[in-house]
Amino acid sequence: MLKKLLGIAPQLEADGSYSPSKLALKLGTVAKTDFENISYTKYQGKKSKILVIFTERKNMTMKNGKKFSTGNHPIEALLPMLHLKNAGFDFEIVTPTGKPVVFEMWAFPTKDEQVQAIYKELKSSFEQPKKLQNFIDTSFTDVESYAAVFIPGGHGAMLGIPEDRNVGKVLNWAHENDLFTITLCHGPGSLLTTTLDNQQFLYKGYKMAVFPDAVDKQTPMIGYLPGHMPWGLSERLKSLGAKLVNTKSDKTVCVDRKLITGASPLASNELGKLAAKTLLEKLN
């Protein structure tokens, strides 16, 4: 009751999961983003497609058994996509099984016209994405059409995706064919798929920006999460040999070889700019 009065009680949803408290939403979400509408010299080449792997899963079970209402963070997905679209790239949207993309709609920037526009433009693809297996079956041989793979963040990126062998196949395919891999916040959980079946971590020794476990440990105090995380992402990556370049959930972005990463939702605009600029420089 006291937590409710203070506005730090996570909010119960109809399916029994919890979204962030009123205070956490006030501190951790925005109605309008810092997106910069940059006029890029558009890419005109053949490698114009970007594969975007979204999660289709909504609820994360915390250590205390409570479920956190999550999915893909809308800003982490849509701001980088806005920059990449403005740079002349198109998107192929997939989920592991072809079920609809799930967004953390409580984090949607309701007063941001640019974000709303790209969301509406791609809404049918979010509702009816392709199945990742179908992409592997039909598009692996068409590598010349692709520039990058993008895996947005949101805690939902830690649900199923880190154990998905098809995600691992795609990341290895991208690596072997010199495509870029773009991800941020909790999205780097996808990189763990390259260790499945006792394979060596593909990104050992890479510098990367990732959401810090230390911040995830603090957020239950203000009701952002309804309990402590089931496992820690940044420490897992570090234990495999990743070189983390940030200690805060800030605007840090990083490019190392063909891996482009960002630290948090706050890095979404910077990641989009870095990805667009890097792809244009390397592909034009």
C-alpha–C-alpha distance, residues 107 and 119, integer Å: 13
Q: Average pLDDT, stretch 5-32?
A: 92
Mean of per-residue pLDDT scores for the chain: 96
Summarised one tens digit per residue, pLDDT across range 95-136 is 999 999 999 999 999 999 999 999 999 999 999 999 999 999
Summarised one tens digit per residue, pLDDT across range 258-270 is 999 999 999 999 9
In this structure, are residues 147 and 47 in contact, taking their beta carbons and an 8 Å threshold? yes
Taking the CB of residue 153, how many other CB atoms lie within 10 A of it? Answer: 33
What's the pLDDT at 7? 72
Confidence of residue 284 (pLDDT cuts 50, 70, 90): confident
What's the pLDDT at 90? 97
Q: Is 185 a catalytic residue?
A: yes
What's the pLDDT at 3? 58
Q: Of 2-16, 174-188, 211-225, which range is least confident?
A: 2-16
pTM over 0.85, yes/no: yes
Summarised one tens digit per residue, pLDDT across range 37-93 is 999 999 999 999 999 999 999 999 999 999 999 999 999 999 999 999 999 999 999
- Which of 185, 242, 263, 271 is an active site residue? 185
Give the strands of the sheet with 253-256, arranged side by side: 130-131, 90-95, 49-53, 146-151, 180-184, 259-262, 253-256
Residue written as token pair 């034009």 = 284
C-alpha–C-alpha distance, residues 165 and 173, integer Å: 12
At residue 2, does pLDDT exceed 70? Answer: no
Portion of the chain with pLDDT greater than 90, in percent: 97
What's the pLDDT at 8? 85
Of 121, 87, 122, which is closest to residue 274 (Cα–Cα)?
87
At residue 200, does pLDDT exceed 60? Answer: yes
Cα–Cα distances (Å) from 58 to 16, 17, 223, 252, in that order, read 12, 9, 18, 27
What's the pLDDT at 211? 98
Portion of the chain with pLDDT greater than 70, in percent: 98
C-alpha–C-alpha distance, residues 77 and 151, integer Å: 8
In this structure, are residues 247 and 264 in contact, taking their beta carbons and an 8 Å threshold? no
19-28+47-283: CATH architecture = 3-Layer(aba) Sandwich (3.40)
